[in-house]
Amino acid sequence: MRRPRRDSTGDDGWDSEISSGLALAGFLALVLAAVTLLAMGPLAKFDAYFTLAPPPSSWIPVLHLLDRIGQRAVCLPILAVVVFVVCWRQRSWRPAIVAAVSVFGLNLLVLVLKVTLGREGPYTVDPSFFNGGMAYPSGHSANIVLVYGLVAYLLSAYASPSRKTQAVLWGAVAVLSVTMLVTSLTLDWHWFADLVAGLLVGGIVLEVAISFDRAVPVAAPDQSGPQQVVERIRALRLGHSRGPEGSA
């Protein structure tokens, strides 16, 4: 659970909270590198061990429903609603910029890793890399950590909920992450290492995003924020409805 982001000034610099966040991102990157190297060797047998028998047919509709929590078509609209509410309350586009840059960065990073490492899914019964696949790392598990993590962070940092609510938000991210891992393993859509790597990639991008958001000072409310845009549109519409006589 994270504390709500505090207001910064230009003299605050990079405090211990920001540097510790970046240090954690660096540590996760090292763990990701280690998992990747192990998946190319010793963990290959471990991945094969977790290639489960097909689930009972009665489970499949439920598993497919659970799998959707990691799809962009589901998680991004949820994030968009939270971003809109937070931007409206703060009268600033800052939360939207944080979310947009983070999501773009995650998808770019996942794509580069998938294309570079080229691992096929369990349906090939071949956990090797560099064979033209797109399984490693799992984009669904990366989305879970980053997108729902951003939801928890933005609400915690900009909406000032209680500590109990913050704990529930971050706990939900952990539950969703485990759910995604178990669901994909049961459906045999990813190797175990794919899912772990996805969680790590999502965590890296999330930590970097949060650290940089905390590092940049909070300015005064943006006069071009969403509320001001809506007010200007209303004013323009009112002026048009009055016509030349109403404006005289």
Q: Which of residues 54 and 242 earns the better pLDDT score?
A: 54
- What mean pLDDT is predicted for residues 141-150? 96
Q: Name the band, by pLDDT with cuts 50, 70 and 90, for residue 132.
A: confident
Contact 41, 138 (CB under 8 A): no
Q: Do 206 and 153 contact (CB within 8 A), yes or no?
A: yes
Write the DSSP string, 77-130.
HHHHHHHHHHHHHHTSSHHHHHHHHHHHHHHHHHHHHHHHH----GGGT---SS
Distance of CA 141 to the CA centre of its chain: 9
Based on C-alpha coordinates, what's the Rg of the chain? Answer: 22
pLDDT > 90 in the chain, percent: 51
Task: State residue 226's pLDDT score.
Answer: 56
The reply to whether 186 falls in a domain is yes
Per-residue pLDDT tens digits for 37-85: 999 988 777 777 777 667 778 888 998 998 899 999 999 999 999 999 9
Position 225 pLDDT exceeds 80: no
Categorize the per-residue pLDDT at 8 as very low, low, confident or very high, splitting at 50, 70 and 90.
very low
pLDDT, one tens digit per residue, over 161-213 is: 899 999 999 999 999 999 999 999 888 889 999 999 999 999 999 999 999 89
Residue 192: give the domain boundaries: 16-234
| Whether pLDDT at 11 is above 50 | no
Residue 183 within any structural domain of the chain:
yes
Extract the tokens encoding 29: 């990157």
CA distances 69 to 6, 13, 142, 177, 184, Å, are 31, 37, 12, 10, 11
- Whole-angstrom CA distances from 38 to 31, 33, 47, 181 are 10, 9, 10, 19
C-alpha pair distances (Å), 165 with each of 1, 5, 28? 10, 15, 26
Predicted confidence (pLDDT) at residue 113 exceeds the cutoff of 70: yes
Instruction: Give me 218's structure tokens.
Output: 């909070």
Average pLDDT, the chain: 83
For residue 134 the two structure tokens come to 């797109």
**138 lies in some domain:** yes
User: Is 192 inside any structural domain?
Assistant: yes
Both tokens of 116, joined, read 């570079």
pLDDT at 15 over 80: no
What pLDDT is recorded for position 32?
A: 96
pLDDT at position 248 is: 42
pLDDT > 80? residue 14: no
> What pLDDT shows up at residue 219?
57
* CA 102 – CA 104 distance, rounded (Å): 5
245 has pLDDT over 90:
no
Domain-embedded: residue 6? no
Q: Report if residue 175 sits inside a domain.
A: yes
Compute the distance between CA of residue 30 and CA of residue 178 in angstroms, rounded to an integer.
21
pLDDT at 115 over 50: yes
In a domain, 54, yes or no: yes
pLDDT 10s digits, 99-108: 999 999 999 9
24 within some domain: yes
Give dist(CA 12, CA 216) in Å, integer: 9
CB atoms under 10 Å from CB of 119, counted, come to 28
Domain count, the chain: 1
